[in-house]
Structure 1
Amino acid sequence: MIVRIMGEGQIDLSEADMELLNDVDRTLEQAIESGSEETFRAALRDLLTKVREHGKALPLDSLEPSQFILPHEDATMEEVRAMLGDEGLIPDVS
């Protein structure tokens, strides 16, 4: 699956990676629902770090269709809330 991190580029993730990321995505959603800025910041940072660590960055000039888009690390809680879908930021692949 190809994901885009806003302002950074695209990353290729396997389905196994996606399953790993769903737990972090749920934590991020819960932080937004509770309004906890500290938990939100930690969860967003953790999510993006895991995507970068487990995925393979595509060349910057690559224009593959992205299955979903993740916010940049400095995104506000309101910006991320606007991006959330029914399944959070990361669709459940199971």
Structure 2
Amino acid sequence: MIIRILGEGQYDVAEDAVERLNELDSAVESAIQASDEPSFSTALAALLEAVRSVGAAHAVDSLDESDLILPPPDATLDEVRALLNDDGLIPG
């Protein structure tokens, strides 16, 4: 699976890492529902760091389409709220 972090690049992430990413995504979603900016910032940073740590940088010159697109680290709670769907940022 290819995950793009906006403004940063793409990462190749193994399918078996998605369950852990979904747990972190749930924390982001909970913080958004509670309008808790400090928790949101912490949860988003943890999610993005997990993608970076479990993923491998995708070739910069590749034209492969991303399977998932995550907001940049400096995204606001309201910006991410607008991106959410029923499954959060990461479906599953």
With the length of structure 1 as denominator, give the TM-score of the two structures. Answer: 0.95
Give the letter aligned to residue 61 of structure 1: D
Matched, 1:15 2:15: yes
The residue number in structure 2 matching 1:45 is: 45
Aligned-partner Cα distance in 2 for 1:10–1:38 = 26
The residue number in structure 1 matching 2:76 is: 76
Give the letter aligned to residue 74 of structure 1: D
Aligned-partner Cα distance in 1 for 2:60–2:31 = 32
The residue number in structure 2 matching 1:4 is: 4
Aligned-partner Cα distance in 1 for 2:84–2:22 = 13
What are the ranges of 5 or more consecutive residues in structure 1 without an aligned counterpart?
none
Give the letter aligned to residue 46 of structure 2: D
With the length of structure 2 as denominator, give the TM-score of the two structures. Answer: 0.96
Flag as ranges the 4+ runs of structure 1 deviating above 2 A. none
What are the ranges of 5 or more consecutive residues in structure 2 without an aligned counterpart?
none
Residue-by-residue CA offset, 1:4-43 (whole Å, 9 max, x unaligned): 1000111111111111100000010000000101100000
Say how many residue pairs are matched. Answer: 92
Deviation at 1:78, TM superposition (A): 0.8
